[in-house]
């Protein structure tokens, strides 16, 4: 464990070390780097150096307060701080859910000099926003604002319901209740203001960022994802990035790394071997 600073923000980082090609795992909302616990052993077992970190405002990283920004340019600056602080090169970036935004924005703004490959797992790109310009999106302004208000008013109740949907497919919970409660415990570490502001960031447009991607790319997504539907996210990302590999997990909810761990890890390890 270590801390890497980006200005006044301290990021909690865990690094397995070793000489293997590095993999940086970027967690989803509202969790922390600890949410990758079922995947890290599979990657280290395949010889990789694995790095996880907690997004600002979440887990054990700094909680900057109500004046802080949680837009993706800011969040990607934190990812850049991790890569440069550890001097990681030839790295594979794996972004789950919200973490896919950092992967896309990093490649779109920093380029791929340090990057070997990219993985979008149940990830939000290209663009979840629903408006007149994007009538087939998933989240309109009213829905985003409603979620923000509901979370601010009742954080524990909102997160309890959200994480049930997170791990459910076709109305059925796909993990154990203990696993769901472990995720709730991670979510409870988040600063409520940070969590609220990040909901707005979900509807940023990553289309232009994806258009810059030339590194080998894997898109892995559940076909029953009720948080980030496959049809408006992973499927479109795979279509947009030339040569991208799409793997769809049958009966997979949003939290596929915990619900379908064996399949998720196998596909990820096989891809990273390229």
User: Pick from 130, 144, 121, 122: which is nearest to 225 by CA?
Assistant: 122
CA-derived radius of gyration, the chain: 17
Please state whether 220 falls in left (phi above 0), alpha (psi between -120 and 50) or beta.
Answer: beta
Q: Is the separation of the CB atoms in 102 and 119 below 8 Å? A: no
The sheet with strand 245-249 has its strands ordered as: 2-6, 9-15, 49-53, 22-26, 91-96, 115-121, 217-222, 245-249
Of the residues 92, 97, 117, 201, which is catalytic? 97
Query: Structure tokens of 133?
Result: 């310009």
Question: Active-site residue 254, yes or no?
Answer: yes
Distance CA 244, CA 218 (A): 6
Give the C-alpha separation, 239 to 36, whole Å: 27
Among candidate residues 254, 258, 259, 260, the one labeled active-site is 254
Contact between residue 5 and residue 81 where contact means Cβ atoms under 8 Å apart: yes
Single out the residue of 92, 98, 88 nearest to residue 121, CA to CA: 98
Max intra-chain CA distance, the chain = 50
Q: Decide if 225 is catalytic.
A: yes
Q: What is the length of the chain?
A: 274
Burial of 131 (0-12, 13-18, 19+ CB in 10 A): exposed
Q: Any catalytic annotation for residue 168?
A: no
CA distance 67 to 28: 22
Q: Catalytic pick from 15, 191, 223, 225?
A: 225
Q: Which residue numbers are catalytic? A: 97, 225, 254
């Amino acid at each position: 464990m270590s801390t890497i600073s980006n200005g006044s923000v301290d990021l909690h980082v865990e690094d397995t070390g070793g000489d293997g090609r590095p993999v940086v795992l970027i967690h989803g909302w509202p969790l922390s780097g600890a949410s990758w616990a079922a995947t890290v052993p599979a990657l280290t077992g395949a010889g990789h150096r694995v790095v996880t970190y907690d997004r600002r405002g979440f887990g054990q990283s700094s909680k900057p307060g109500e004046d802080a920004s949680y837009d993706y340019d800011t969040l990607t600056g934190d990812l850049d701080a991790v890569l440069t602080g550890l001097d990681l090169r030839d790295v594979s970036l794996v972004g789950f859910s919200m973490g896919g935004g950092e992967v896309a924005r990093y490649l779109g703004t920093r380029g791929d000099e340090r990057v070997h490959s990219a993985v979008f797992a149940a990830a939000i790109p290209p663009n979840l926003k629903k408006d007149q310009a994007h009538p087939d999106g998933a989240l309109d302004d009213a829905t985003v604002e409603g979620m923000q208000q509901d979370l601010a008013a009742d954080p524990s109740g909102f997160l309890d319901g959200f994480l049930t949907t997170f791990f459910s497919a076709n109305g059925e919970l796909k993990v154990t209740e203990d696993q769901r409660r472990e995720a709730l415990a991670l979510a409870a570490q988040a600063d409520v203001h940070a969590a609220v502001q990040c909901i707005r960031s979900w509807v940023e447009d990553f289309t232009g960022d994806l258009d810059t991607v030339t590194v080998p790319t894997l898109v892995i997504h559940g076909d029953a994802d009720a948080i980030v539907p496959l049809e408006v996210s992973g499927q479109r990302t795979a279509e947009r990035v030339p040569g991208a590999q799409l793997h769809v997990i049958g009966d997979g909810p949003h939290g596929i790394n915990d619900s379908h761990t064996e399949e998720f890890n196998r596909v990820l390890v096989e891809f990273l071997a390229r």
